[in-house]
Amino acid sequence: MSERRTVGVGLVGLGTIGTGVAKVIQQNAAVIEQRLGVPLRLVRIADLDLETDRGVDLSGIRFDSDTPGLISDPEVDIVIELVGGYDFARDLILKAIDAGKHVVTANKALLALHGKQIFDAALKRGVDVAFEASVGGGIPILRSLREGFAANRILSLHGIMNGTTNYVLTEMEKTGELFDVVLKRAQDLGYAEADPTFDVDGIDAAHKLTLLAAMAYGAAITFEEIPTEGIRALTPFDFEAADEFGYRIKLLGIAKGHGRDAERIEARVHPTLVSKGSLLANVDGAMNAVAVTGDAVGRTLSYGAGAGEMPTASAVVGDLIELAREVLRESSGRVAPLSYLPEELVPKPIVPLDELYGRAYLRFTMLDRPGVFGHIASVLGENEIGIESVIQKGRGGSFDSVPVLMQTYPSKESALRSALEIIDGLEDVTAPTVHIRVEEDL
Ligand code: HSE
């Protein structure tokens, strides 16, 4: 162990999370030193905006726009990338690695797309890249998968992994407000990505699932392969009907292994009906939770704030402390970043959605006149889709379109899709049918 008196940190990106990182390092300096053995010192910060008052004391910290200078500064042992996005972030991470610095990032989008390049470069240079804050905000779910669950074959993973959408779903259900109104509130609270379509279209959750699937199954899947659906199409009718059928609606990232060695995997992100009694159904607001079932450990649930300044900063600074230990020991590579050794990460086929089997919730929009429902019911019957329950909302005094809300018995998704293709082509069906899968395995 070296005789160093401090470990130096350089932070690139003083936005919401970066500000939280500066606060945590300052507020918890004493307890961090008690755990690390030396002080963790924020040596310098780089950002383009040098004017805005972030409400954090930056005295004693060099603060300018000089990212190359920060990376090459001999007092900086660990570089934190919190700028987000792809090109600039990737370039700065690769330069930091090249300069022999350990790196902490929260950039799940970058890692989901370019993780291999970054992890390979770090391995070659003998430094580590830590990214706990990229999934589950403050919940240490990556460390759990890499180390705590390392003895297990993972049977399934179900995660509420996007705080913005979980906040929007919870508020829409509670208040009956419109999607756009609630989304704006989530953005104001600092939960959303710079581009909120990443949140509401399920892309952010799919980025995170790419990383989790690699860690759970050694599956080198690409983000683009993950079937992904967002929450834009949901209306108050869906929340009311879900409630009557005994469910709540959550945007889940789901991964499951098929076969003894998970030769194929399920990996998908979509709004899901989960039984009201399940733990995940009761994860509200911007909270995240990841349920992992392992063959030895059984069912587990990790729960905590999935977004926001201080919870995410907690994960970033946790990574800093872990890497600072590596700096002190002059070591690296204690645990493979994606849990599996790089040569054990292999491409695995993703089970097509058509092969899924389960209940479904359907919202039909149809003209309110005699015979239309009978027509739909017979198309479903011809495709062997059984109807478990139906709610029809009353008409407003005309033959206008009305929603008909249905729960099916378990069926093969390929059959359901064939039926919906026919139904959506019917003259009296006035909008595409909304289909939400039910997940019983929770
Ligand atoms: N936009 C993300 C979310 C931030 O809402 O969960 C945390 O990754």
Q: Pick the residue with more confidence: 187 or 412?
A: 412
How far is residue 103's CA from residue 131's CA, in Å, rounded to a whole number? Answer: 9
Measured in angstroms, how far is the CA atom of residue 381 from the centroid of ligand 1?
A: 41
Indicate which residue of 23, 101, 208, 250 is catalytic: 208
Protein residues whose CB sits closer than 6 Å to any atom of ligand 1: 137, 162-164, 191-193, 199, 204, 306-307
Which of 401, 328, 410 is CA-nearest to residue 366? Answer: 401
143-304 CATH pick, 1.10.3720.10, 3.40.50.880, 1.20.1560.10, 3.30.360.10: 3.30.360.10
Pairing of strands 387-392, 102-105: unpaired
- Where residue 198 falls among pLDDT bands split at 50, 70, 90? very high
Percent with pLDDT over 90 in the chain = 90
- The residue ranges of every structural domain in the chain are 7-138+309-344, 143-304, 355-439
If one residue of 131, 171, 193 were mutated to test the ligand 1 pocket, choosing by the most ligand atoms within 8 A of its CB, it would be: 193
CA quadruple 55, 56, 59, 61: dihedral sign? negative
Beta carbons within 10 angstroms of residue 407's beta carbon: 22
Residue 247 predicted with pLDDT over 70: yes
Which of 62-66, 148-152, 196-200, 394-398 shows the lowest per-residue confidence on average (mean pLDDT)? 394-398
Q: Pick the residue with more confidence: 97 or 186?
A: 97
- The string of pLDDT tens digits covering residues 290-328 is 999 999 999 999 999 998 899 999 999 999 999 999 999
If one residue of 204, 207, 251, 312 were mutated to test the ligand 1 pocket, choosing by the most ligand atoms within 8 A of its CB, it would be: 204
* DSSP three-state, residue 203: helix
Measured in angstroms, how far is the CA atom of residue 35 from the centroid of ligand 1?
A: 29
Residue nearest to atom 7 of ligand 1 (CA): 307
- The string of pLDDT tens digits covering residues 370-379 is 889 999 999 9
Mean pLDDT, rounded, for 323-350 = 97
Residue with tokens 């108050």: 236
Mean pLDDT, rounded, for 222-235 = 95
Architecture of domain 355-439: 2-Layer Sandwich (3.30)
What is the per-residue DSSP string for 59-106?
Answer: TTSEEES-HHHHHH-TT--EEEE---SSHHHHHHHHHHHHTT-EEEE-
- Where residue 195 falls among pLDDT bands split at 50, 70, 90? confident
Measured in angstroms, how far is the CA atom of residue 327 from the centroid of ligand 1?
A: 30
Burial class for 208, CB neighbours closer than 10 Å (0-12, 13-18, 19+): buried
Q: Is 208 among the catalytic positions?
A: yes
- Where residue 394 falls among pLDDT bands split at 50, 70, 90? low
Ligand 1: atom nearest CA of 108 is 8
Q: Does 143-304 match 7-138+309-344 at the fold level?
A: no
* DSSP three-state, residue 276: coil
The distance between the two most distant Cα atoms of the chain, rounded to a whole number of Å, is 84
Question: 414 forms bridges with which residues in the sheet?
Answer: none
Pairing of strands 357-358, 102-105: unpaired
Residue nearest to atom 4 of ligand 1 (CA): 307
- What confidence score (pLDDT) does residue 204 get? 96
- The string of pLDDT tens digits covering residues 132-181 is 999 999 999 999 999 999 999 999 999 999 999 999 999 999 999 989 99
Distance linking the first and last C-alpha atoms of the chain: 46
Residue 254 predicted with pLDDT over 60: yes
Contacts of residue 345, defined as CB under 8 A and 6 or more positions apart, other chains included, come to 214, 218, 219, 220, 338
Measured in angstroms, how far is the CA atom of residue 17 from the centroid of ligand 1?
A: 11
Residue 96 predicted with pLDDT over 60: yes
Which of 330-344, 380-394, 413-427 shows the lowest per-residue confidence on average (mean pLDDT)? 380-394
Chain mean position to CA 54? 27
Residue with tokens 């389960």: 358
- The string of pLDDT tens digits covering residues 412-423 is 999 999 999 999
Mean pLDDT of the chain: 95
Residue 382 predicted with pLDDT over 80: yes
CATH superfamily of 7-138+309-344: NAD(P)-binding Rossmann-like Domain (3.40.50.720)
